[in-house]
Structure 1
Amino acid sequence: MTSPLPVPVPGRPSPRTRIAYLGCRTTRERQAQGEGLSVLAQDADGGLQPLQLLRGLVNPSYLLLNRAGSRLYAVHGDGHEVSAFAVDGASGRLRPLGTRSTQGRNPVHLALTPDETALVVVNHLGASLAWLPLRDDGALAPLQALWPLDGPIGPHRSEQTQPKPHFIAWTPDGRHLLVPDKGCDRIHVRRWRGDPTCLADAAVEPAALLREGSGPRHLAHLPHGPWTVVLNELDSTLVRFARVPTADGGLRLQPLQCLSTLPDDFMGHSRAAAIAVAADGRRLYTSNRGHDSISVFDVEVTDGGLRRVQVQASGGRTPRAFSLSPCGRWLYALHEDSHGISRLAVDPHDGRLGPAQPVLATGSPTCLVFAPAP
């Protein structure tokens, strides 16, 4: 049994700190030991200190800040709800703004529309996108639209029993939504014209298909060109796509490259989990649950080509998520099954990772997001 978070220290953070928000699993069904939604302060040496803990929230498992850092949104994993919080600009502390139903089960990911007037939530089970408008104060209005996602399921007997969308991201131009579906081995593509009704069936683009049994989970865009990288959970691979516009304003994803996130000599059980790109676009990182590591890839900025250069132990069990510090100095690995966060130094020259060091004991962490600079 892990020790709970240290008692939060009241008051305001030092001007030298940056605020971060930590989500976790809390339920017995997940064998979780988390306590709720936490506000943390990152100090100059990469340490994390608790400032606030909101107890009583069920599985606040994935978090999202608006661009200004004034509102935080959290899905409640394994449930059917999403919550909104106001962020105090001086202290970073949270104030609840209410909770709304997503009319689906196990909401796992969320994204704001490009104009930040609505929230789109992915329901993992029931396979749908939930559209919730935002009120002027950032609170959630009732669900306005629900779009089912469907397709032929993959061959994995236990993980691909139905469509299982797991992530949602806008293309950099804000014109399309991309939704990796672990159950159907495809990326759903939806065109966006500024009106939620335009995400109906008429706006569905041809899906991008992946290898059977690959289980696409998350994706990231490379900043130097029209390239999107998809992380496949079940076979622990990366697939790089080119985003190709069509003559009628649509989008086609053209596969260019596939490579493993695991060492060539590893034959054990592992599942890929999270993906992130460094701020300069020259490095890409993924996490491996089972091998319990972070993989580092060099990115060729001229053509987006990827090359795996390091697989570094993450310092705990089951790194479901990780987060790159905005300063670029640290990568934080969140270990869901060993109940702690490790800090790995990022080399400023080549992006390689140093040895993992424990930085915070906390139950079942699943998401860490940093507030924008004050």
Structure 2
Amino acid sequence: MKLKGYIGTYTKGDSEGIYAFTLDTENGMLSKTSLAARLENPTYVTVSKDNRNLFAVVKEDASGGAAAYSLDEQTGELSLINSKVTEGASPCHIDVDRAKRNIVTANYHRGTVESYTIENEEGSLNATGSVIQHEGTGPDKERQEKPHVHYSGFTPDERYIAVVDLGTDRIVTYRLSDGKLTEVQSLNVKPGSGPRHLVFHPNGKYAYAMTELSNEVIVLAYNREEGSFEELQYISAIPNDFTENSQGSAIRISNDGRFVYAGNRGHDSIALFAVNQDSGELAFIEHTSTEGNWPRDFEIDPTGKFVVASNQESHNLVLFSRNEETGKLALLQSDITVPYPVCVTFLNV
């Protein structure tokens, strides 16, 4: 099987936008990357459930927002439909619902969560439907001087939007109705931890938040009826004796819900944890080097047998095989070049 995927990048140096790659699952090989779309700073991209559209965060001159592309599932070719931007910094995260009716973005620099409605089946975006401005600070005076919203995504049943604010140490739940966001619950997590990204367990009962500043995983109980979170556990994603700079990045969970993976920029590793299926809590297993510098993101492929990681500062993609019984990763390839890679995503299977 040959699986298509995309890389979002910072467009500095040689980078020109969104890059495409192919993973050959029979031979365990990544193809060389190719430019799929010229776009300024498409640092995060997401593919619609029907594989007909790709949506990206975008910067246009002094404005930022979201861009919609049509996607040819056979060739992987992207064609710009439209973009919607407003003055100010561009978002850092984007998500789309399964029915392809709404998009939500997280804006780190503005400290906002924003929603867009999708105009038609082709995937054209309407202007911003709702903008929520977060308020507050955290104890880290350099990194938490104001709100820094780093993630906004749909909950598994899509009844709510989960939003992670690094700047104020909060995880906030919103309801989205007719394109408008309304706050449901706000959970304050450990001061100074700087939560960054979040992933849900397949059973919908638990969620796992990766912290950037403290390099920890927060295990959360999730109440699907109320859209509320409760802290269960904090567990470090780096060794206790590692004293150099390291910042948490991406977090992923296997399709069977047995293993959680967390990225560490600085320690330059992916931490592997086993999930207790009764409590949702984690037990550390091992670290795997990302064979590069500053692993910004990684993704488990749709078959569950491989992981592709992106090293932002060493400009390389890394392919690992994944043991589905133990969760452990084994290096297959680390020589695929892409400039300033940030986000990794696959087409759905």
TM-score range normalised by the length of the shorter chain:
over 0.9
TM-score computed with the length of structure 2 as normaliser: 0.93
CA displacement at 1:269 relative to structure 2:
1.1
Tell me, in whole angstroms, the C-alpha distance in 2 between the residues paired with 1:290 and 1:182: 18
1:161-189 deviation line (CA, Å, top 9, x unaligned): 11010011222222111110010000111
Assess if the C-alpha contact under 8 Å between 2:82 and 2:125 holds in 1. no
The equivalent residue for 2:143 is 159
Worse overlay, 144-153 or 82-91: 144-153
Letter of the 2:54 counterpart: L
CA displacement at 1:225 relative to structure 2:
4.8
Assess if the C-alpha contact under 8 Å between 1:24 and 1:37 holds in 2. yes
Tell me, in whole angstroms, the C-alpha distance in 2 between the residues paired with 1:276 and 1:351: 12
CA displacement at 1:33 relative to structure 2:
3.6
1:195 corresponds to which of 141, 153, 178: 178
Assess if the C-alpha contact under 8 Å between 1:270 and 1:288 holds in 2. yes
Q: Please, which runs of 5 or more residues in structure 2 have no aligned partner?
A: none
Tell me, in whole angstroms, the C-alpha distance in 2 between the residues paired with 1:306 and 1:244: 19
The correspondence of residues 1-374 of structure 1 with structure 2, limited to 5 A, is 16-27=1-12, 32-43=13-24, 44-50=26-32, 52-54=34-36, 56-76=38-58, 80-192=64-176, 194-197=177-180, 199=181, 203-244=182-223, 250-355=226-331, 357-373=333-349
Tell me, in whole angstroms, the C-alpha distance in 2 between the residues paired with 1:230 and 1:51: 30
Tell me, in whole angstroms, the C-alpha distance in 2 between the residues paired with 1:325 and 1:70: 19
Worse overlay, 351-360 or 222-231: 351-360
SS at match of 1:367: strand
1:87-143 deviation line (CA, Å, top 9, x unaligned): 113212111112211555221111223532121222222222222221224343331
CA displacement at 1:148 relative to structure 2:
2.2
Assess if the C-alpha contact under 8 Å between 2:63 and 2:86 holds in 1. no
Question: CA 1:229–1:287 in 2, change beyond 3 Å: closer, same or farther?
Answer: same
Larger fraction in strand: 2
Question: CA 1:272–1:288 in 2, change beyond 3 Å: closer, same or farther?
Answer: same
TM-score computed with the length of structure 1 as normaliser: 0.87
Greater Rg, structure 1 or structure 2? 1
CA displacement at 1:48 relative to structure 2:
2.1
Identity among equivalent positions (%) equals 27
CA displacement at 1:51 relative to structure 2:
6.9
After the TM superposition, list the runs of 4 or more consecutive aligned residues in structure 1 that deviate by more than 6 angstroms: none
Question: CA 1:36–1:321 in 2, change beyond 3 Å: closer, same or farther?
Answer: same
Tell me, in whole angstroms, the C-alpha distance in 1 between the residues paired with 2:17 and 2:227: 39
Q: Please, which runs of 5 or more residues in structure 1 have no aligned partner?
A: 1-15
Tell me, in whole angstroms, the C-alpha distance in 1 between the residues paired with 2:290 and 2:272: 12
